[in-house]
Structure 1
């Protein structure tokens, strides 16, 4: 880690007034705090993070420093290597910061095959933690079990269900399923009778139904697992039940049966509870559902197919909740395998917790259709995002909590007339369409990070990083959190331009940094980092305004390679500092 990176992290902590998901600061003048072991476990079990020793949170993250930094670094290294299981190998460095020594450890994220990381001085259940928000939380026994199961390929869906037989299958579903198998995969299934084919497909295991077979083709799986169903509740308010009228819900549906039937019944209930909206399409208007049906179908299928089916989760249903401002689909069990929250929607990102169930549902059609329940090609979430983008809606927000996975669909058009009017009032020429979409998401109160920005605009991570950085440089948004997990929010002056009324938004006074930079360069040659330190401006802001000043001939670099951080800048000899400078 560079000194500039550390300074940026500390500045973020001071601005936020607390730790965040990927950075934890602790006071540690003479010895390691006991809570260090919890933070090490939490970072390793989540997405990694940075531990900074020598900052006092109770004093606004004042740099109090550490004494005998070399010894403390050795103690921390020994703790990681000898007291954590599996051993951790963080990058530990001593930084001189504000006239004191800080100890900084960059803790890597553990591979799923090694989790959970825990403190050896206690049991795995007691010593395993996860990072939640700005704190460390002990894993529940269920979460520990999920992490252990995720070390390999789970086989819960292949387990035989006691008391079941071929008689508990839906005959019509079985006939359709076997016909498709014999047609699509004749070499494997064409010459087999019904029993042999069902055994080969792992619907039958030693004359009993597998859990996958029961869920995909069973007549009524809830006879054996009453809670393996889907519930849909439509609430009257954005908080849920209406405290004034006493109405708990507007509609309440329990979808039962095999997965194809549950998907069909859920879509029928969703259509019944959705209204239609008019949107501008070319020269006219088109009516469409509040949410695209294809996106909802993929969300429901994903929840039923990728949920955890281990015994500890058999009492939990898949839940669909409709609120006036959003729709939520939640299932037991978080992401499995290589799939990561920040990568969802990317091509080729797919991991199958229930591989046998997914394979079966490739050849089981939805009721009244030739369409299979799923394609098993990793296309579910990309299809969901594309459908919402085409409908001019905000992308879904995905949340992985180990024990559960949630997809949230905001219920609003991304670029309505009020949003367009507000963006125009910012008076920022040159914004791309994707930058406008990002600002619109923040206008609506949504979370904006690199993943959400990519999903909303169908762009790659590199472009998203550049465009978000430009929004920061323009003074429209600020980033909080580590670079990899940064979230963005509107700056205070931009936020004040939004109000709840219908009157036009107040124009924002644009921050022109030319005068500040020119004044800082008066008689000096300074690098970007030195300019940032002298003016207090973020590096991205300094970089943006330097480019403009160079383009306008007001500033000149001392070298040709403008991207190098070692390049110094000086005022051009032909200009004079006056009261104002031209706008972009």
Structure 2
């Protein structure tokens, strides 16, 4: 069956239409605002302007200019502030505006001082009894961890460079207007991370110079192992701590550094295409989700990255939010945010775009690369996303980088690292390690003669059965 190019598919929207509203044309904030407010006060939803249904796409003119207007209008009209994603999308030859709204955490929400709800698929004003119930529930529910006040000294312990970087990124994307860019307190208040002159835990995690002093659970541990089972020998290991966004970037680069680059030639082309083993966009989305959805209140928790030759794990403390399962993650759902304040800052910075659709994008990116579908699993205190490398079968020759191919071509018997470099004519130790040695170990093409002593001066390397089989394939 051919795909209808003028149909909104699950990559943009979940298949469940119960929390989706369609507007055939853009009708202004007076119509959009109450719908968004109603979604916030119930279980979230999606609003599509420029369509009557998934199949009936009318399209909008100048849709990209509408994004800024809608973002600003909702930011000014919705109270208290909330994370709402506004994006323009192409559907076939037409453009639509998609507004994604997660379930709100700070009920009741109002648009222009009026509280709306979604009742039996219709948006309506909340009556006094519903408003009273919302207020009473808010008073009895415990304050979430990110909203509690931090013990940070707001005058001494902030990373001012990171605050300025955030302001620059937000202003560039025109997603928020700051009252006073020269006032740190005002900036933090505008971002929803400061009240009464005190920084919240969420603000500490994002902008504290060293938040791990107060919150040791924010540390990230990452390791790259030589084998997939029964061996804890590693070739790279690091612990990360600091403000959230720089740590997110450092962990991403750790993964990129420790996953091999695959070189392929497209059919009928002499041009080589180099790609990382796992889709870059999928890895970044998986990391962002781990930082946003983790349970920061679990002081023994954290984020753990484990890289093996045939799979990669991203594990974060916490469990799936209520109503979320491993199955509906793969089909798409409206995001239920555990830490909406932290998520809001990442969204404003352009690091988080697909509310509720990240898991669908991850799955699709892996499928397009020819990789097995990723999996999400839940344990008692953690959630794990696992990526799988392409399976190697006797009928399929594994793809390796030119550097690894050269290394395998000269490795006969057991040879030391220094001798290998001399044979290959390489003087740069770090380049040899990252481009030749680590990828070959990671792909289980070579192995150490002393795996229990990876840094021994007597260490040598030899081909594995997999490496020997590949060499035989090279010389067929």
Task: Give the TM-score normalised by structure 2.
Answer: 0.49
Larger Rg computed on CA atoms? 1
Of the two structures, which has the highest relative contact order with CA contacts closer than 8 Å and spacing of 6 or more?
Answer: 2
